[in-house]
Structures are given as C-alpha cells and as structure tokens.
Structure 1
C-alpha cells in the first residue's frame, strides 16, 4: 500500500484497504496511516480527516506517526489553524511530535508573521 500511495495510486491503495475490511481483517494503525499519508500528499485533507474519524470509530487509536502525518498535510496546505489543532490534540493525548513536523510548523509560523 505504501508504494502505491507513494506512486500516487490512491485508488489502488484504497481498494487494498477495502479488501482488508471485506475479508474481516482489521486494518491496524500502520495501514490507516499509510493511506492517510497518501491522501495528505495529494492535498485531500477532508478525506484524510474522514479516514482519521473512521480509524477512531473502528477502535484503532492514532499514534505519533498518524498525527504527524495529518499535521504535515495541513502544513503543506498552509493551513496553520488545523495544523495547530492537531498538534494540540496530539499533545493532549500524551503523544509527541517529531522534529521534522515541528520544524515545518515553525517554518509555517514564521511565514505568517
């Protein structure tokens, strides 16, 4: 799935994801995050948010990588409000951002001022 997302073949990756669900194989945090990364790279943040909600509704807790992925997606869209929201949410859940994400966030903040 990761290779398909990297190649921009989101439909193929989404089909594999759907096939896992149809076979009653529960996608894990890594599978959700891979698909979310592909959506974020394409700038499809509404879809990435829907997937995040589905993930949580399915009882799969997002981890640091999941939140860093969605934060980076918002940063790439220059959406400081949502990037900041997810940073706060991640920290409130006791998770930590990575250096890469926060350097991007600082860069976005400095471009706003």
Structure 2
C-alpha cells in the first residue's frame, strides 16, 4: 500500500486496503497513516479525515503522525480552518506537538499567506521550549522573501 501511495496510485492502494479488510485484516495505526498520507497527497484531505474518524472502529488510536499528515493535507488544499481544528485535536487527544507539527503549521500558515501569524506561532513555540530546526528557518525565510511579512 505504501508503494502504491508513493506512486500516487491511491485508487489501487484503497482497493488493496478494502481487500485486506474483507479478508479479516485489522488495520493498525501504520496502515491508517499510509492511506491517510496517500489520500492527503492526492488532495483528498476530506476522505482522509473520514478514515481518521473510523480508526476507533478497529480500536486504533491516532498518533502524532496521523495528525501531522492530516494538517499537512488540509494546508495543501488551503483549508487553514480545518488544519487548525486538527491542531486542536492533538491536545484534545492528550498528545503534545513536536517540531514536525510546528513546521507543518508554520508552512501551512505561510502557504495561506499568513506570514505574520506564522511568526507569532514560532514565538509561541519558542516560549514553550520548542527549538526550531534548519527546516523551520527555511520555511519562514522563504515565505518572507517570497511574500513579505504581511
């Protein structure tokens, strides 16, 4: 499934997913994350969100990868509101965002032309002790150079 998703053959991956379910396989969080990532990469974040909502059906608990992938998927289709709702779910489900979560959100803000929000978000992360990486700085510098700090 992962290879199919990486090759952007999401329909084939979903077919394999359904075949596995029919044969009695119980998908774990990794299998869910693979399909969620494939759907998000194909611009089908809403479908990915529906799969996320069904995870409990298999007693499967989403992890930070699940949330980061969903946020990235919604930012990709420029749905900043839904991405923010996913951010809130991280905390609601008792998880703590990591630097990847922050980078996804920073990049998402920048892609939605919310550079000033991204900078404020980084300040909040720094205050919480989240240390930026070179990727963090690349995201922000590139956004400011391309769009200015608006």
TM > 0.5 fold call: yes
- The offset of 1:14, in angstroms, is 0.8
Identify the residue that residue 43 of structure 1 maps to in structure 2. 43
The answer to whether the 8 A contact 1:68-1:98 is kept is no
Distance of 1:33 and 1:108 partners within structure 2? 20
Query: Which residues of structure 1 form unaligned runs of 5+?
Result: none
Write the distance in 1 (CA, Å) between the matches of 2:5 and 2:64.
Answer: 20
Q: How well do the aligned residues superpose, as a CA RMSD in angstroms?
A: 1.5
Give the CA deviation at 1:45.
1.4
Larger Rg over CA atoms: 2
Name whichever of 51-60 and 32-41 sits farther off: 51-60
How far residue 54 of structure 1 moved from its aligned partner, in angstroms, is 1.6
- Which has the higher mean CA deviation after the structures are superposed, 76-85 or 99-108? 99-108
Give the corresponding residue for 1:69.
69
Cross-structure match for 1:91: 91
Whole-Å Cα distance in 2 between the matches of residues 84 and 105 of structure 1? Answer: 8
- Mapped to 2, the partners of 1:60 and 1:52 lie a distance apart of 10
TM-score, normalisation: structure 1: 0.89
Deviations 1:26-71 (A, max 9, x none): 0111001100100000110121111111212332111111111101
d(CA) in 1 for partners of 2:82, 2:23: 34
The one of the two structures with greater contact order (alpha-carbon pairs below 8 A, sep at least 6) is: 1
Q: How far apart, in 2, do the equivalents of 1:108 and 1:51 lie?
A: 22
8 Å CA contact 2:72, 2:108 repeated in 1: no
Match in the other structure for 1:8 = 8
Change (3 A) 1:107 1:12: closer
Q: Following the alignment from structure 1 to structure 2, what is the Cα–Cα distance between the partners of residues 85 and 63?
A: 16
